[in-house]
Structure 1
């Protein structure tokens, strides 16, 4: 062939092929340019990413100026050095691009170059036809062309992948820059500003006095920021703490009716160096309404308005007249009113009989602290009984007034009452003589010689007046001690010894047992009022049980020896059973340990009344005829109510058990839906009773409920036979019992409990109505008054329980929590103790929780 001549035009048939070839050349050119440019520009990008990372991390902002300028210079030099390799960049030539395409597609005989070449020299028709045929055949190989990916060679130059570190720092720094501590790019070109002033943090709270039982009020809490007026108790402690700031903060309090008061800081302490600020704390007491304002210079930082709730003074007054209890103790009924409850009270006595001008009494007035009403009681009624028969003022006309003091020291004084101090009656003439001589000596020590003469007269004929030799020896000893006494302490010892001898002459060993019992009761009462620990209460309860057993044993032995006393024991259904006392003391201990101290004190007072009435041994006469029948019907009604209460508790227990089994059945059903039919054998597990046993128990409860309904009908028939018309409460009780029986039959435990509670309440209403009708039908129930303001027919039997003529106790006197209430109280106490044991709890919260435990 003579030569090759270029062809300027391609056939129309190859137009599509040339278009694909052009696009392939374009992508290949870009790929080759990138693989040549990327290694040259990568150092510059690394330097830039490191600069941006340091800027966004806020490093330049923390650097001193000399270090910042030096680092910036290093980055500038590194950037210039990274620009130098860019001068070696060359754009890919067309021939190189074509050869890259041929290598990428593994084409032989350079078919891409053939399409761009052209014939040179002289040309003829045969050569041109031959060249076009050659181009056509080479073009057939270009049907599927693809560009090649760039091969920068960077991984070979950076086998450790250090370039990715710069990228990771850049991404992390960019995310960090959006935070409050992130930096900016301009930080590298600006001098670091001085340390900005720390914005002051304000913490303010008001702590009410502990006796109020109220939690602290956090003035700066988010929930209180929109509060315009805060209500605080009088005497609350205000505390405000300023952390940071300029240190020139001032705090003022502006009462509504007075001049502005400046509250000085308690002192400044240096905070950690990182804070570069001081801590200033202000403290004061809130006594009047006003505005609290915190300023920094002339700028107001915050203000809080207060309305102070004053602590009103307590009020105390008598409820009825002071009276002598059946056993001779002094009973005072009174009412104490105070907004937060009184903390102490006492009775003050004044002797009405005039004494000699030069009299030298050995004893002061009797001391009688008052029991306080339970917290939260609306009426504030309380009662205190104390045995003052041993005091030398016993049997003397006195004037008494009551005083009560609240936690803030305010004192209330009641009106005065005049009465004769209760005294112990002595039937033995010798005991009466000794008590009279003791009183004479104690009221005026100057009459010692007169007492010696009287005692000498008593001992003149011991064979006739002192049949017991041990008593004569004791009198001889006290006579000698009285002659040798020189000081008032010696005379007081003689007076105490005379009292012990008189008790021994009158009662023998029973007085010692009675004294131990009263001391144990008083110790337990004081422990309950002082919130003693569970261990101390358990110890005192054991002492009370032991003293109770000793007293009852001595009382029974004396009753066997004295027929007259045996006749004075309670009759028929009024016996004092040992099991009743044990159950009552167990309830007192359980309530005290569970935190229900008020209910425990009420039951202890009831126990004291029972023992006081038993010690008095007052004989009760049985009612005859119709009154006896009424009493029997009311006793049956009381027993019916007790059985209904027990059935309600049992129904509640079975309902809880049934709910637990239903919940476990649902859990097993969900598990079976996920795992197939496995686990069917576990249906009867996890409960104390199987479903069949529960169903049988509910059926038995239904039968028992039906029996109660029948017993109620018999009682109503008996009352109608005596001419007493049953009230509406009994009809409502019958309907509720029927509903409870139907609910039990349908296994609806919750509904049954509600109906049983409604039946119990209706029974109480009906019983009270019946009692009023019986009292109107009876005659001679109210007699004259005896000594000490007592009536011949009390509403209590010798054991402190309601008389049979007035019916049983329907639960209106003392509210004793049931097992559900006690369990709930335990859960609350456990939750408080658990929270208190958390070392991360704030100190203010821990103080509040400790006050809650002390208020049990």
Structure 2
């Protein structure tokens, strides 16, 4: 048998005595808490109950039972904890400390050579290994205990006990825990020592001021908010301590609670006066009442009508402490209503509209400005004269009001003539059911010649059904409301063409995605919600594009002509949101999502890089974008399959293996190859449908798409051959070629749009739409450093290299450009070497 070599250090753990001792002590604490947390929780609850003098309120005979029950529970918990507790062995402390060090050096220092002990080289290598492990062990630090009590206490009982213990020390009498009175005879100890008293003053909670313990006050002057509660306890025989106060209302003065040795007196402070306690140790307090001012509220300007027809009324509220509630009341101003047509009849009784005023979620409520935003567009009083009254209330129940302000209740405006008439008929019907005959006759007259008035057949059918319901059967309030809802829906279809539903679906998708970001949803959930948002946005943009013809008069949801953004820019913004979420930068993603929501609320869309909604090639850009997304997804799936193959330790396929011998891996490769073939055919069809643009960017776009098609074919063949590595490379080439092709196609469309408008511009110009509704502008192409290209294609030195406001974004774009160029194999070797050195440096 070969002789085993001894470790270089006879006692390798001697130098780690202190970290090991601390680690073991932490393990003792950790296991002790796990075993005895019920004991500690019961003890804390018992101490808290005693500190709050629960024993003074227990009925006769209950105190002993409570003590015996508590003691039994403590004994059971103690026995249970002792049975579960295990004292940590020294080797367990060594193992825990060793697990925190790289390479487990403590275990290595305890090892011994089995072979090679007689070889000098082996011994030298072993000594070097031990020296390195000793150096690592020297950096050992004690491991902190980790009780991990949450799984063992799912109901958080320990936290409840801890909270009770803290409150007992703050507000109880912890120094009197052992002072156990006889049941039903509270205060006997104080009675034995002679008469004494205690007093408290508690301001109203809404003031935020702390309570006062009167016995601890040095002075005799007290300033209390109006409505404060004062409470006194008198220990000793009844009437032994004289008491007098002049601060409460005599009518509201409660009777004193009297016991054998304890009397209580509580009252509300209403006015300034004195509170005097006589006898030994008595005090006289001069109480000054701080009046609680009535809150006030005022309108900040008149109510505004938002683009969606909602009411927006800013207001300013003030109180000396805090406004606790507020209401807005809207009542019909019948004297100001023009009594014409359907409004000539007396209106049916209808309750006032009442809205709760918004209050600040955080910060002070003593002085704030908020905006009441409510949707009253469907109310019968919309766009009619009303009286608006705002009222606020403080914690004492006092109210302040703006008084009745005459305004016109904001509601949605309809500019389509038939839609506007339907809304007027709806208003007349809701105004009074006596307008039933008039409204039915008018609707029948409109539906008599539908070709001249009604653009959609489904609206015609809805009109006929509405007329039938008005002319037959009783018009109950329920039927009236159903008819009114049908008229509103017809008006929306005429005005928006379904645009309102598309906008609501898009806003709902945005809200769901924001909620997922706030709640820390998984990547799969966020990806699914992001796809839903893209689909809803695409539907909304498509409907906007269909309605983009010039119309007379203002249109709901439109902006000024200069406030435009292209469909491609919206897609780029959404791609940026998805990229930030994938990188875990949720705060930045939420900011961009909020920006997108604000932008889409009031949008006039022109799709395509050229910024013109009716330009040829817009559909081609959308189709190519979809193909690019599908190709990226296919590349991810190919890479994932290659990783799974490596993880399973799959052997390389033998040249003679047939298709039937490939197993599951072959089946997956065939499926990926079929998807790649389908994408290649899809790209071919899109190339055939592309517009013929006779300019250089258009030719470049076709060349790039041809290159993408060839790369797809090579990727398909590589997938069929089982060479996933080559397939992924060709798919990356296809993705890059698709991006370059789309970029060139966008430039070609922009140039063609400029030519049609009589402003051809230079080669490569782009029309940029301000994402926030700013003016569009033509901008010459720039090099990766942000410098503009001159007419002679020379770099201009007059611009700053990083002129953009966001230098970090510019740096990221520059790094992406360097990476793209370094991957182009046809560039000169010197240039490629320079680009690689740049990447290594940054």
TM over 0.5: no
Question: Larger Cα Rg: Structure 1 or Structure 2?
Answer: 1
Relative contact order higher in (CA < 8 Å, ≥ 6 apart) = 1
TM-score normalised by structure 1 residue count: 0.40
Q: TM-score, normalised by structure 2?
A: 0.40
